[in-house]
Amino acid sequence: MDERSLKTTLYEQVARIGQALASPKRLELLELLAQGEKTVDALARQLGIDLRLTSAHLKALREARLVVGRREGKFMVYRLTGADVAVLGVQLRAVAETHLLEFQNAFAQLVASPGQLAPRDRKTLMAQAQRGEVVVIDVRPASEYASAHLPHARSLPLDELRQRLAALPRDREIVAYCRGPFCLMSDEAVAILQAEGFQARKILDGVSEWQAAGLAVAAA
């Protein structure tokens, strides 16, 4: 193979990744699978689309070697092929935030209450959590927390939050997080906590953002 043909082949292989990601639903699939492995049925429910379309999107991602599936009884279970795939999603979003005005405008609406954001850098927040000065809660489902979570975070799924308020201290700030900047579960958690008189704010990070920053995550 001559040099020109070799370069063309290499660019074609890189383009396979771009082609696989050229769908909003596939990008959302990567974000969901970054939280841990999931069945096709669960992914379809979370995406709000039918099983056939979900399977078609997963096939495109599988052909690009971004996800892998296995059969578990009558279910197909999928996971990312590596943490670098989750980091790729974070990097794509960062480029969009830097260069696309449309993204910036939409994202500004999503985080329209900046007073609810905890103004701390990651290492400072974890140091405070380790010392018990703040309480970091992971409001994702327990299975996602078990797969990976921020260090020193407590698992407090959103659907259990109201029933477990007594377990939270009222003399310290509560900092909630979920799947990343586009996830609204932490907003709901903060609203519940503030309505009950807690000091509560959120961070935009999820596990993928932590990994993209080169920081360690924990697993149950």
Per annotation, catalytic residue among 66, 175, 178, 183: 178
Q: What is the DSSP letter of 179?
A: S
DSSP annotation string for 110-176 = HT--GGGB----HHHHHHHHHTTSEEEEE-S-HHHHHH-B-TTPEE--GGGTGGGGGGS-SSSEEEE
Closest CA to 106 of 181, 177, 175: 181
- 178 in catalytic set: yes
Cα(14)–Cα(115) distance, rounded to whole angstroms? Answer: 41
Would you name the residues annotated as active-site residues?
178
